[in-house]
Amino acid sequence: MFSNCLRKFAQWCKPIRISNVFFLTALLSLFPAPKLWSAEYGPLIKLLVRKGLITDQEAEDLRAELAIEFAETSAGKITIDDDVKQLKIKTDLRTRYQHESTQKTKQSTEKDRSRWRYRLKLGAFYKFTHGWSAGVQLETAEASDSTNTNFGGYFDKNGDDLFVGQIFIDYSMPPNWADLFNINIGKAKHPFLIQEAFWDSDTNPEGFTQQIGWRREGDHWFILRAGEYIIDEENESKGFSVDDWLFVGQAELRYHFGRKSDLKIAPMLLAETNGISRDFSSESANTPSNENSLSDFGNMLVVSVPVEFTFLWNDIPQKFAATVGWNLNADQAVNTSGSPYRSKNAGDSEILDENGLHYSFKYTAGSPKFFKDWAISFEYRYLEAASLTPNLSDSDFGKNSLNQKGFIVSGAYMLSDSVKFGATLMKSEAIEQNWTSDAADKYEVDLLQIDLSAKF
């Protein structure tokens, strides 16, 4: 009975653009809060999002407001500090079949590998009073760019350890002269508009992040972001040393055209420092734990321009995303003796004009959020031999080797509101066929991933 009323209400409201969360809060307040918290208000909010009556952000704001109201009732109290206004537990489970075929040089034979994998992300995220929040997330696998661990070992638990993937304290309170003001300290997901090709989605930086933004009539935004992240900690007690850092800056211009149509342009600068080390026995030997890790820093001074355009067509969400970037230090990287970007083949390092460019173009149709939702995407990527650090780039494409170009095709279908089936095919090959370096050591890579995941 109640769900039928909700459907009729959504159909009646469909021509109306409802953007006032307070109106929806008043509507939901007509029902008993404890009952809504346990079963009723969740489907209502999902229905309103599905019908396009409210945005995803408005739905999150509404859930947070209702959670606070419910926590103040006798039924909603739990034994946590009164300063905690919201506690969100997130669980992300995934099983994966992966087949990869790799050819290291044009003359070598292909090597095939198949494996079953799984991952777990378990997080607790808190909202406190006065704009403060905090979060902790535990993940399988210790690598910086992967949370996968393999089936096998005759059912042992080797590799089943949980590691800290996120741990942070966050302050977010808009001052009078801005509409967005945020400071994050710790290890957390980055806020930058950048495609996964150039910053792996599992890579959470460690350090400091700041955002400030101004909103104008029509939901237009101008946002400035900055990040200062430690990439190699040096031990000053062993002598004069300076840590290695990654600095990121971005300015995003967001223009809202109407119902779920936005254009985002966000030029950014990414720079590494190479620090100073006097402890050659330990600190200078630190090597990142990722697919194609490099312990040599300071070769990145990257300028890039990410662009995204989202819109609805036949009530189907569409998105075009593109990034074009250039490493201004590419020539230095490939010509420095001992550099991991320098080719090991005689004469190849003299190719100086085609090493710093990277770009990606991606089209996505659909949005897998609720039961029976789907999405398909097509992407083309191009990363030259010193265009970026493989400590950041996608660990799957080309097995995280630079000097790769190729395409990605993927699809997803929601088996329930929480369970998703997905498949991804990646195919890449070397740009310069004779180029072989520590950062670019693959000639051709094919990768197939089939996933069954659940998020709740």
237-259 pLDDT tens trace: 666 677 889 999 999 999 998 77
Residue 109 token pair? 């034979």
Per-residue pLDDT for 25 more than 70?
no
What are the CA-CA distances from residue 104 to residues 8, 356, 447 (Å)?
60, 22, 14
Nearest to 88 by CA among 113, 107, 70, 63: 63
Residue 456 CB partners (closer than 8 Å, separation 6+): 90, 91, 418
- What per-residue confidence (pLDDT) applies to 145? 87
pLDDT range class, residue 291, cuts 50, 70, 90: low
- The third-level CATH classification (topology) of the domain covering 85-455 is Porin (2.40.160)
pLDDT for 331-379, tens place per residue?
888 888 888 898 887 555 455 456 899 999 999 999 999 999 999 999 9
What's the chain's average pLDDT?
84
Question: Bridge partners of 406?
Answer: 381, 428
SS3 268: strand
CA 400 to chain centre: 16
List the domain boundaries for the chain: 1-79, 85-455
Whole-model pTM?
0.81
Per-residue pLDDT for 286 more than 70?
no
pLDDT for 141-199, tens place per residue?
888 888 999 998 888 888 788 999 999 999 998 888 899 999 999 999 999 999 999 99
Can you tell me the distance from the alpha carbon of 291 to that of 60, in angstroms, rounded to the nearest whole number? 35
Average pLDDT estimate for 266-291: 68
What are the CA-CA distances from residue 389 to residues 108, 182, 381, 402, 403 (Å)?
26, 27, 15, 8, 12
Backbone φ/ψ region at 262: left (φ over 0), alpha (ψ -120 to 50), beta: beta
pLDDT range class, residue 37, cuts 50, 70, 90: very low
Residue 252 CB partners (closer than 8 Å, separation 6+): 193, 221, 222, 223, 224, 225, 264, 265, 266
- What per-residue confidence (pLDDT) applies to 32? 44
